Amino acid sequence: MTPQFYLRDLLVDDPQTTAMQVTVNTTIPRVDLLPTNPRQTNLDESLSDNFDAIYFLKEALETIPIAKYDFAIIDCPPQHGYATHMAVMAADGVIVPVECQKWAIEGSQKMIKYVDRIRKRFNPNLSLMGFLINKLDIRRVVEVDLKDERRMTYGDLIFDTEFGDHVQYVEAAMLKKPISIYKEHSKQAK
């Protein structure tokens, strides 16, 4: 089903669009989406002249009846553009997926500082919930060593759950299904 509206309509193109108009029901019980589209890639350019744009997503989400959802997950690109800024302004907590690669390890400290800066200046409710290890290949000694180093450095900020580098995740994403439905009895779904 092609959505009638996209998140971009809500944030940039049509101020009359509501979050509930953009919301798309899925085949997964109790899971709905606010879809994006390829035009959203130039979101930074579209919002660069609007100093209060970082509040647009927060304001849009506040229009959704609170009883309808237990929580919202806002998936963002890794760079700190408008999409990420809007998400942290609307969020209470941040979960950072990280790979056990040297460049990702270096980015962890930057993310801690970023969340701290946002909390101090703009969103006092924001907390760094933790780092979620993603795409871990336990056959690579260097990745296991980096994972152990990360756990020693960040302690409780590292979630116990780890996502390995398994083809089932890629297949599920291509089929636009959560792993818990695509391969519900697999180790990856647990």
- pLDDT by 10s per residue, the chain, length 190: 566 666 766 777 666 778 888 888 888 877 888 777 765 567 777 777 777 888 888 988 888 887 888 888 888 877 777 888 888 999 999 999 988 887 776 788 888 999 999 999 999 999 999 999 988 888 899 889 988 988 998 899 999 998 888 888 888 888 888 888 888 888 887 7
Specify the DSSP class assigned to residue 27.
S
Sheet containing strand 158-164, edge to edge, reads: 93-98, 127-136, 158-164
Question: Is 107 part of any domain?
Answer: no
> What pLDDT was estimated at residue 128?
95
Residue 19 is predicted with a pLDDT of: 82
Pairing of the two strands 127-136 and 158-164: parallel
Tell me, yes or no, whether 157 lies in a domain: no
- Report, in this order, helix, strand and coil percent for the chain, each rounded to 5: 50, 15, 35
Q: What pLDDT is recorded for position 156?
A: 93
Query: In the block, which residue shows the tokens 């609170």?
Result: 66
In-domain check, residue 147: no
Residue 23 in domain: yes
Q: Count how many domains the chain has.
A: 1
Helices 141-154 and 102-121 cross at an angle (nearest 10°) of 30
Residue type (1 letter), 185: H
Residue 54: both structure tokens together? 């970082």
pLDDT of residue 73: 86
pLDDT of residue 170: 86
Residues 127-182 pLDDT 10s? 999 999 988 888 899 889 988 988 998 899 999 998 888 888 888 888 888 888 88
Q: Quick one: tokens of 42?
A: 């130039």
- The answer to whether residue 62 is domain-embedded is yes
Flag whether 127 is in a domain: no
Identify the pLDDT of residue 13. 65
User: In which region does residue 3 sit, left (phi positive, over 0), alpha (psi from -120 to 50) or beta (all else)?
Assistant: beta
Q: Are 21 and 4 in contact (CB under 8 A)?
A: yes
Residue 153 lies in a domain: no
State the residue range of the domain holding 20: 1-91
Domain-located, residue 116: no
CA distances from 51 to 46, 120, 140 (A): 12, 19, 45
For tokens 């690669």, name the residue.
101
Distance from C-alpha of 2 to C-alpha of 118, rounded to nearest angstrom: 35
